[in-house]
Amino acid sequence: MEAGIPEDDPRNPAVIADNVGDNVGDVAGMGADLYESYMGSLVATVGLGAAAAMTISGYTDSTVTSFLALPMVVAAMGILASMVSTSFVRTREKAEQKELLWSLRKGVYGAAILAIALNYLAVVWVLGSDYLGMWGAILTGTVVGVVIGYTTEYFTSDNYKPTRTISEAALTGHATVMIRGLSVGMMSTVIPVLSVAGGALASFFLAGGSLDTPQMGLYGIGLSAVGMLSTLGITLATDAYGPVADNAGGLAEMTHQPEYVRERTDALDALGNTTAATGKGFAIGSAALTALALISGFMDEIRRFGMEAGSAATYADVIAKYHIDLLNPLLIAGVFIGAMIPFVFCALTMGAVGRAAQKIVEEVRRQFREIPGLLEGKKGVKPHYERVVDISTRAALKEMVIPALIAIAAPLTVGYIMGLAALLGLLVGSLGAGFVLAVFMANSGAAWDNAKKYIEKGNYGGKGSEAHKAAVTGDTVGDPFKDTSGPSLNILLKLMSMVSLVFGQLIIAMTLFHP
């Protein structure tokens, strides 16, 4: 906007960094995040499966093996369903936005339906028809994933009212764009939160859990997370579609293609923004269930090893010994600390993006100022793209040290100083606050982006208008929302739970506070 040139103009020294960043953030980064969720849910569910099998009267080694094997078989069924469902993705020439969106949704919905059918056969084959409640838990997780995806689509696609209201707000300035985008993001948290909460409860009771003997129910929650993630292949593919389309638009601009080419890539880019937002919503939903399964695994570890040697501890024994109840001020303090950590984490990551962006802006201004003929587009004059890529890469590596240390140090420090009850409060508080915050940030960012795209289609004055400039501000703020801080919370929640699970014995042995 400052130089008065198009977004992906090759004269801009930051344009290559933008293209690289799309691949790094929305393909490699999101892939790593969802892979971590996948493996975390499998690890937690396998552990919970062993505990659940041992509650069955007269269980044998083969019973335990079957409960351990089921999550792996469910994952295999999901891989098969994802492979088959890619053939469902088809569309026609000159398709409208809704048709394009539906063509991708056919693959996602097809994979979910096929996985549900295959998982029914898997449960009957591995556990037998007496355990169809486990299939109900897997079904619940799959349905929750689809619901979160559809909700995200509604709040972030310019086919629907929420995003269009942000575009309309651009008519009255930058501030109203920001206010409306924040409002849309906050409202978008309702259905995902209710879906995950309802899914956790449904999977717990469908699997046969009870408050006195919760092992089967906790195993059901783990299966629900595995069921949601089982069709990860097609979900991640639709998420990666976004940066592919975005970079295609950049290439069209940089190679001076005809105007109609950029119009087509912009339409696909807007579609990609929605599918990427859907992938992020799916990622945080699965992360919430995975973190819940890991917390359950942590509790089961305490049950099995936290009591005196040789005792057959129950959850009631653990709760009584470590005062895990709402009357314990240490637990309440842990909840507050846990709820604070996602906000500190986001503050650090947003600040990191802001500082790196400032350095990049200064470098772009310097090159425009010091390289003769660059801004005028003289033949043979090119910017130094690699310097901007280097600034971004160095900043990313340096600025992530403290956030990563927080994710590891927070549970260890709270557990060591304040004890087990405070640690559990920390995990619960961070899960609740972090889940809602991540959904809010991801959806606000995607809605701001698509609101800009909607104006660029010619609505409310089109490109170059005052409304467009206001929408660009929203998109600029939305990028670190949806591409940095929001997705990074997934890792925070899972990593703190995993650290607690791995170091649970050490925390109990070394805690300064003994009830």
Q: pLDDT digits over 282-312, tens only?
A: 778 888 888 888 888 888 878 776 555 455 5
Q: Which residue has the tokens 């609101």?
A: 451
Residue 331 confidence (pLDDT): 93
User: What's the burial of 370, exposed, middle or buried (CB within 10 Å: 0-12/13-18/19+)?
Assistant: exposed
Within a domain: 29: yes
Please state, in angstroms and rounded to a whole number, the distance separating the CA atoms of residues 39 and 23: 23
pLDDT-derived band at 391 (thresholds 50, 70, 90) equals very high
Q: How many Cβ atoms sit within 10 Å of the Cβ of residue 340? A: 15
Please state, in angstroms and rounded to a whole number, the distance separating the CA atoms of residues 480 and 352: 10
Within a domain: 110: yes
Within a domain: 4: no
Q: What is the mean pLDDT of the chain?
A: 88
Measured at the CA of 86, the angle between CA 82 and CA 88, to 5 degrees, comes to: 120
Q: Are 471 and 167 in contact (CB under 8 A)?
A: yes
Beta-carbon contacts of 2 under 8 Å, excluding residues fewer than 6 positions away, are none
pLDDT: is 282 or 474 the higher one? 474
Within a domain: 187: yes
Please state, in angstroms and rounded to a whole number, the distance separating the CA atoms of residues 358 and 488: 21
Please state, in angstroms and rounded to a whole number, the distance separating the CA atoms of residues 83 and 99: 22
Domain carrying residue 162: 15-300+311-510
pLDDT at 183 > cutoff 90: yes
Which structure tokens are listed for 291? 């973190």
Within a domain: 273: yes
How many distinct structural domains can be found in the chain? 1
Residue 410 confidence (pLDDT): 94
Q: What is the DSSP letter of 308?
A: -
Q: Are 434 and 292 in contact (CB under 8 A)?
A: no
> Would you say how long the chain is, in residues?
515
Q: pLDDT digits over 426-449, tens only?
A: 999 999 999 999 999 999 998 999
Please state, in angstroms and rounded to a whole number, the distance separating the CA atoms of residues 253 and 256: 5
Within a domain: 7: no
Residue 469 confidence (pLDDT): 92
Which structure tokens are listed for 229? 């993630």
Q: How many Cβ atoms sit within 10 Å of the Cβ of residue 61? A: 8
Q: pLDDT digits over 449-461, tens only?
A: 989 989 988 899 9
Q: DSSP for 79-90?
A: HHHHHHHGGG--
Where helices occur in 371-465 by DSSP H, the ranges are 385-399, 401-418, 420-456
pLDDT at 340 > cutoff 70: yes
pLDDT at 281 > cutoff 80: no
Residue 173 confidence (pLDDT): 92
C-alpha distances in angstroms, 183 versus 177, 271, 384, 445?
10, 22, 40, 12
Instruction: Check: pTM over 0.85? Answer yes or no.
Output: yes
Helix (H/G/I), strand (E/B), else coil: 54: coil
Residue 312 confidence (pLDDT): 59
Residue 320 confidence (pLDDT): 83
Amino acid letter, residue 280? K
